[in-house]
Structure 1
Amino acid sequence: MKKSKLYRRFRYLVRRRTRRFKLFRVLQSISKEKYDEKISASILYGFLSAVAVNFFFQPGHVYASGATGLSQIISALSSRFLGVNLPVSVTFYLINLPLMVLAWYQIGHKFTIFTFITVSMSSFFIQLVPEVTLTNDPIINALFGGVVLGAGIGFALRSNISSGGTDIVSLTIRKRTGKNVGSISLLVNGTIMLIAGVTFGWKYALYSMITIFVSSRVTDAVFTKQKRMQAMIITNHPEQVIKKIHTRLHRGATMIHGAEDTYNHEQKAVLITIITRAEYAEFKQIMQKTDPHAFVSVSDNVHILGRFVEEEN
């Protein structure tokens, strides 16, 4: 009996130490990346989302897309029907907490850690920034709120971080099924507009549609996550470049031997690889370190036929 208790205690301690060591390894791997850029983007997104919510959405009774819009709806309904003034920052955080648990187990640890930082920054700034009424015109509030929020989302995507919410659900389903699930975002946004219309009047649903449209257009203008780029590399050191592309970007490459420089008649190799816009900054670093004298041509927004995997971490 004593042996059994000791054995269970031993197994518990081993599992606990294993979890701690796993988290330590995740944090250690993050420290090797450009984490300062991602944290800066998280802070910027948090501030811009707070400006959008407290300067435009809340004063104009306009509702944003995704988790931000849901948190606004819950806050407004709790105040109207329950008499409880539930802050938008609190509801936004509560919506994202179970989703981050899902992301930790289904998407990836680094992704979850940076999402947690981004959500925390957004909640913090929404609570910190005071609510200011710049104008009572709901259309102006919808337009400018959409611009500010869309810019924040675009800058976040440029650093390959997520603002949480429906992104986590979509990425989880895509990882399990291999399909892009745009209907989730459509369903959530449709629900937000429906509740806004039924509860506060259909004109507010129309204003929210304006916000969602403008926000998505500005996000695309700042950064499009699905944008792919083709890089053609002419180099004297193909093996070193390929090794870094494989290990750092987890991308494949096609190598063409026997290319000749017509000026010096040197034999070179031509490498062709496809990367995402989010990986472009790291790709430039790889080329500067492995072969700063290589000739690199990058074509923007290329179309792909075939399997192309997007890294979620």
Structure 2
Amino acid sequence: MKGFHLPHAVQDFVYTVLGILFCSFALKSFLIPNQFFDGGVTGISLLIHELYELNIAYVIVLANIPLIIMGAFQVNRTFAIKTLAAVIGLGLCLQFIHYPQITSDKLLVSIFGGVFMGIGVGLAIRGGCALDGIEVLALYTGKRISFTISEIILGINIVIFLIAAIDLGLPTALYSILTYYTASRTINFVIEGLEEYTGVTIISGQSQMIKEKLVMELGRGITVYKGERGFLKESFDISQPVDIVFTVVTRLEVRRLRNMVEEVDEKAFVFTSTIKEAAGGVLKRRARH
């Protein structure tokens, strides 16, 4: 079948199943027994479950279905089908698998409930689907109003936590905010991993030697911009041409790159920036997601 790769399909399946198991574990062993919440559609589902005592397995599936349908148009049908299967799988785990309550300590619940939830959602994203459709809603809404996706998600979550504070008490809402923060940071770590890409720009009078070291010793691809350096306060009219070197490395390689540049030119101007996505070129191979 054109475009179908069995190893990738198996990898996606494993990531998704592990994501479902981690999410259901976080919900049944940490959050639900202690009346804690998360953000997004999961948070809405937990809130409905607590306020109206409805079965969480049914609520979490039904709450995601409108967003899955929306995802078929906003993303693609493959994503929507995968997400529907994952959400139904999550509902089945919540309904039929018995998870013991791990702890009732509020701090442990808020931190580790968020960690396990973040691992689950992050693994599902690596598998090409979503266990929480809030970003699809934000993407749809963002095309119609002048707010960023992050601002829309933040606004929705503020409403969730305000309702939780009014109906279930401020301490519960505050602990739930900690859960959401922990989960969001864990999701970023699971998706990006230790090999989060970093863009590095180097401006130096010894650019030729730096270029050779980056390519020959570090094995990185480089891009060279033609620029000018100088323009100091005491000699503004004096400048000289310079090669501005740009490369992309993993954050584990940043320290080595800095040391390499300092060996050549201690006065070199080096600055870095985080890169969310990178593909093609001479990049270190990383996990597919």
Name the TM-score, length of structure 1 as normaliser. 0.59
> Does residue 204 of structure 1 match 2:172?
yes
Given the alignment of the two structures, is residue 299 of structure 1 paired with residue 267 of structure 2, yes or no?
no
Corresponding residue for residue 24 of structure 2: 50
Offset of residue 128 of structure 1: 2.2
C-alpha separation between the residues in 1 aligned to 2:146 and 2:222? 28
**Distance in structure 1 (CA, Å) of the matches to 2:142 and 2:197:** 18
Tell me which protein shows more strand as a share of its residues.
Answer: 2
Asked if 2 retains the 8 angstrom alpha-carbon contact of 1:71 and 1:91, the reply is yes
Shift in Å at residue 170 of structure 1? 2.6
Quick one: distance in 1 between partners of 2:198 and 2:98? Answer: 41
Equivalent residues of 2:197, 2:278 under 8 A apart? no
Structure 2 residue 153 is the aligned partner of structure 1 residue 185: yes
SS at match of 2:192: coil
Q: Which amino acid in the other structure matches residue 90 of structure 1? A: Y
In structure 1, runs of 5+ residues without a counterpart are 1-24, 80-85, 231-260, 262-269, 273-296
Say if 2:38 is the partner of 1:88.
Answer: no
C-alpha displacement at 1:131, in angstroms?
Answer: 4.9
1:135 to 103, 123, 129: 103
Q: Is the 8 A contact 2:64 2:133 kept in 1?
A: yes
The superposition leaves residues 68-104 of structure 1 with CA deviations (integer Å, 9 ceiling, x where unpaired) of 111111111112xxxxxx2111111001111111111
Q: Is the 8 A contact 2:42 2:132 kept in 1?
A: no
- Does residue 72 of the first structure (1) align with residue 46 of the second (2)? yes
Q: CA deviation at 1:162?
A: 2.2
Distance in 2 separating the partners of 1:77 and 1:159: 33
Write 1 or 2 for the structure with the bigger share of helix.
Answer: 1
- The total of aligned residue pairs comes to 216
> 1:65 deviation in Å?
1.6
**Cα 1:69–1:179 shift into 2, 3 Å:** closer
Confirm or deny: 8 A CA contact 2:135 2:149 kept in the other structure. no
Indicate the percent of aligned positions where both proteins have the same amino acid.
Answer: 25
TM-score w.r.t. length of structure 2: 0.64
Change (3 A) 1:164 1:213: closer
Question: Is 1:97 matched up with 2:65?
Answer: yes
Structure 1 counterpart of 2:115? 147
Instruction: Give, in angstroms, the shift of residue 176 of structure 1.
Output: 7.6
Aligned counterparts of 1:48 and 1:59: Cα–Cα separation in 2: 16
Alignment of 1:164 onto 2:132: yes
Q: Is the 8 A contact 1:54 1:129 kept in 2?
A: no
Letter in 2 for 1:143: I
In the alignment, the residues of structure 1 paired with residue 190 and residue 69 of structure 2 have an alpha-carbon distance, to the nearest angstrom, of 29
CA separation in 2, counterparts of 1:31 and 1:178?
A: 39
Distance 1:298 1:33 in 2: 28
- After superposition, what is the alpha-carbon deviation per residue over 1:87-134, rounded to whole angstroms, capped at 9, x for unaligned? 111111001111111111232112112212221222221222225322
Question: Per-residue CA shift, 1:124-156, capped at 9, x if unaligned?
Answer: 212222253222222211111011111112222
- What CA RMSD, in Å, does the superposition of the two structures yield over aligned residues? 3.4
8 A Cα contact 2:121 2:132, kept in partner: no
Contact 1:166 1:184 in 2 (8 A): no
Is 2:74–2:136's contact at 8 Å kept on the other side of the alignment? no
CA distance 1:105–1:64, change in 2 (3 Å): same
